[in-house]
């Protein structure tokens, strides 16, 4: 028999007052104490380590602490931390006057995802700065934004993966009400909202959850220390904690999808994996609301079990990020094969990723020193999210360089085409569309000097294999953060304006093309020439046949098609319209001369 799940956790306000639920399986007494009014609400013990109480005297806006066996702590299920991770929690009324009843999320296969970090997206550093850009994003062609983690983290500058209060929306961004306003505004513009959630670890500063119960276990290790306790003693409270958090994003904030960080680090050998329960929880909510919601994972394992349905004993995730497409694309574009890029071989592997999503599908990986990966042949293209940049692959570089700092404008346009021409779900990283000049570096705002020094040392150690004489920017320095804030005014400069026009047109091409918008892997056949650094995509769907040609070399290349048909140009990256230097022929029959670092699509004439 399954343990009964707690539908709501923490201190929640409703029409009949305050309901407080605290999980503290080893406590002898639990009291909710308000700060301003100094009221004490004793909680009574319940089953499975829970403590509960109800009150009609405590109102929204009051700050409170949980007194656990005489010691005061913020609530681990706090919905608001207005004064930071070490201070009192705040009671908030999560009721909101939503105007999105008629909104319908796009199907996952139709997503054009735009990943952003709230703090560096605008010079207001908050949700209002994002809301102000919704008309811009709509014009760009984006229909889904993916927001880096929002759970309260130490200070005001952080990527979000150091969060310690997963239920409390970061106060410096605008808190719970600010995020509700953002989601409502996004839906008014026809834009879905994806939230990046972190269930594999807690940040290193301000994690008071462990004072309440065994949220962590030494049974497994992770890159962040002890693993979150999903299968050890008292794991029921931790599993409830995560499932309640999933429900909160859907119910209280109307988000359309979750991106689950580092799903491979969710250590769970129980009979039902926590991802399967997250799938079940999400499906229950979908059924109740009759609205689409998706689960996307970051996963370092080419393991199809994460995507296989629960009926097939998989974890039932809707999609995963494909880092290997990114790695192969970067090597094809000229990135040095060092660090984890050493496993990739340019156009050969990129061609394989176009066909198979994964590059490693069971062969030997020198970097991992083992045979790696599984076959994904029969999985739909909508299961895979691809990109030429993202926060990780940019920010985890020593200097946080974007593609605009590493590659020519011609190559940037070609890389964008590779993403948009794939039979997968495409994603952009904020500012990519105008070749933003700002880096995206790693930054923190901790208060513990020993921790700050440890992070600095860790960054230096991380880049040893990349063999650079450069020094990593100080992650604690305000300037490291400030340098990353997007400069929207530079869009007016010719080279940035050209790139923005290119991306707008490319996204429109992707969305209007009768084949590409199908996200149908079975419609694609791929050829490549490793010596010439060429890739040819052959797409056929119903009565339409087209080819995508991509030249990653620094020389023009002849592409010979052994076909009697004529081919009509429908897209090119090298047009002077967006800063290129060549107009390709509108028609060709057997041979096409393709300029260096360029790509094009041609449709077969009947």
Residues that are catalytic: 261, 298
Report d(CA 147, CA 3) in Å as an integer: 33
Residue owning tokens 């956790």: 9
- Note the helical H segments in 300-389: 323-333, 347-356
Task: Give the angle 458-464-468 at the CA atoms, nearest 5°.
Answer: 120
Residue 114: CA atoms inside 13 Å, Cβ hemisphere, count? 26
Closest CA to 9 of 239, 281, 295: 239
* Token pair for 163: 């969060």
Task: Tell how many helices (H) and how many strands (E) occur in the chain.
Answer: 14, 31
Give how far Cα 385 sits from Cα of 6, 173, 544, 553, Å: 33, 27, 25, 26
How far separated are the first and last CA of the chain, in Å rounded? Answer: 63
Q: In whole angstroms, what is the distance from residue 432 CA to residue 93 CA?
A: 37
Q: If you write DSSP's letter for every residue of 61-72 in order, what string do you get?
A: T-EEEEEETTEE
> Taking a C-beta distance cutoff of 8 angstroms, is the pair 230, 190 a contact?
no
Alpha carbon distance 229, 167 (integer Å): 18
| DSSP conformational letter for 149 | P
| 465, 415 contact by CB (below 8 A) | no
């Amino acid at each position: 028999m399954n343990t009964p799940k707690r539908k709501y956790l923490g201190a929640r306000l409703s029409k009949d007052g305050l309901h407080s639920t605290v999980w503290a399986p080893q406590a002898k007494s639990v009291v909710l104490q308000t700060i301003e009014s100094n009221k004490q609400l004793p909680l009574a013990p319940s089953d499975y380590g829970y403590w509960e109480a109800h009150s009609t005297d405590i109102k929204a806006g009051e700050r409170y602490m949980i007194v656990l066996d005489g010691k005061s702590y913020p609530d681990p299920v706090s919905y608001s931390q207005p004064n930071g991770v070490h201070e009192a929690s705040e009671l908030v009324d999560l009721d909101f006057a939503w105007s999105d009843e008629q909104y319908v999320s796009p199907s996952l296969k139709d997503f054009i995802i735009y990943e952003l970090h709230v703090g560096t997206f605008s010079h207001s550093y908050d949700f209002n700065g994002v809301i102000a850009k919704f008309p811009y994003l709509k014009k760009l062609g984006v229909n889904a934004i993916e927001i880096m983690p929002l759970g309260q983290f130490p200070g005001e500058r952080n990527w979000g993966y150091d969060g310690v209060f997963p239920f409390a929306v970061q106060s410096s961004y605008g808190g719970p009400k600010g995020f509700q306003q953002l989601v409502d505004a996004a839906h008014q513009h026809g834009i879905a909202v994806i939230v990046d959630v972190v269930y594999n670890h807690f940040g290193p500063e301000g994690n008071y959850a462990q004072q309440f119960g065994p949220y962590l276990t030494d049974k497994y290790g992770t890159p962040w220390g002890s693993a979150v306790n999903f299968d050890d003693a008292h794991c029921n409270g931790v599993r409830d904690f995560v499932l309640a958090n999933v429900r909160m994003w859907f119910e209280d904030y109307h988000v359309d999808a979750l991106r689950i960080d580092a799903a491979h680090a969710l250590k769970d050998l129980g009979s039902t994996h926590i991802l399967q329960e997250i799938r079940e929880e999400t499906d229950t909510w979908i059924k109740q609301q009759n609205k689409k919601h998706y689960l996307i994972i970051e996963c370092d394992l080419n393991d199809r079990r994460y995507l296989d349905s629960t009926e097939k004993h998989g974890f039932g995730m809707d999609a995963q990020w494909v880092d290997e497409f990114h790695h192969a694309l970067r090597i094809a574009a000229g990135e040095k094969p060092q660090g984890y890029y050493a496993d990739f071989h340019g156009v050969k592997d990129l061609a394989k990723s176009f066909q198979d999503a994964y590059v490693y599908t069971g062969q030997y990986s020198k970097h991992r020193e083992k045979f790696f990966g599984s076959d994904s042949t029969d999985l739909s293209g909508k299961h895979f999210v691809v990109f030429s940049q993202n926060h990780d692959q940019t920010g985890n570089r020593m200097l946080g360089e974007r593609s605009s700092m590493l590659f020519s404008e011609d190559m940037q346009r070609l890389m964008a085409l590779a993403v948009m021409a794939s039979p997968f779900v495409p994603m952009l990283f904020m500012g990519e569309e105008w070749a933003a000049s700002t880096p995206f570096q790693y930054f923190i705002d901790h208060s513990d000097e020993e921790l700050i020094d440890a992070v600095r040392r860790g960054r230096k150690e991380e880049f040893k294999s990349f063999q650079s004489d450069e020094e990593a920017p100080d992650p604690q320095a305000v300037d490291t953060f400030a340098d990353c804030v997007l400069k929207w005014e530079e869009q007016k400069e010719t080279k940035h304006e050209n790139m923005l026009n290119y991306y707008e047109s490319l996204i429109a091409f992707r969305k209007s093309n009768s084949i590409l918008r199908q996200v149908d892997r079975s419609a694609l056949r791929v050829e490549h020439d490793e010596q010439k650094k060429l890739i040819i995509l052959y797409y056929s769907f119903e009565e339409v046949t087209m080819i995508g040609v991509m030249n990653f070399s620094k020389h023009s290349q002849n592409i010979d098609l052994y076909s009697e048909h004529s081919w009509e140009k429908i897209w090119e990256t090298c047009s002077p319209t967006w800063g290129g230097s060549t107009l390709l022929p509108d028609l060709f029959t057997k041979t096409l001369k393709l300029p260096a670092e360029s790509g094009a699509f041609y449709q077969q004439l009947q």
